[in-house]
Amino acid sequence: MKKRIFVSATNTDIGKTYTAKLLLEAFAQRGYRVGAIKLIETGVKTLAPDAQALLETVQKFNPEFANVSIEDIVPITYKLPAAPYIASNKKALDLTSLEKAVIKLESLCDILIIEGAGGLYVPLDAKYMMIDMITHFQAKALLVTHCALGCINDTLLSQRALEERHIAYVTAFNCREGDESFAAVSAPYFQDTQKNILKISDNIDTICDVLYNL
């Protein structure tokens, strides 16, 4: 089985696609054939923007994705910008289509970046949550978290969810403009309680190395 890395986050709009694109570039620079898939995207009226961004990035680094379509990158889309459980009108998840898409794209790459939707406990249907996709596809996880006030609580809750499922993971902080208070109000806790603080903007190479060796 190829290497699978699942990019999740503490919530929606935290920076999963941005991070996935950086991972694709960083792994490609190491000589790996990279690939990407976003299992589900909601809020899609005509074009799936996250999937489009992933496809354009992959095609820069892996010519084997030249004929891959948006529909290959994102097998399931919904118009309503809501959790898939709601956006699908409570329809059962088509897990078979996701499995086929993963297998197809994985045949073109050495490392497949799998992007989730929203956070770990976004409901996909009455049976599955997003976190279930990490274990189903036997992937390692990258937990993307924010740097605003409240990130301690949000990060710890998501980390606990991953640990309870025995999922190997790396945590990375996506600090944005306006997050200058992070160093004073949140970083000291993580410095005292965790091995290190990995920032996506500064430490993407280290993040790649740690993920690959999980």
Q: Which residues are catalytic?
A: 38
Q: How many CB atoms lie within 10 A of CB 132?
A: 16
Backbone angles phi, psi at 41, to 5 degrees: -130, 130
- In one-letter notation, the amino acid at residue 29 is Q
Q: How far is CA 67 from CA 70, 72, 136, in A?
A: 10, 10, 27
Residue with tokens 């589900």: 40
**β partners of residue 172:** 144
Q: What is the dihedral of CA 41, 173, 181, 148, to 10 degrees?
A: 30
Q: What angle do CA 71, 144, 26 make, to 5 degrees?
A: 70
- The SS3 assignment for 115 reads strand
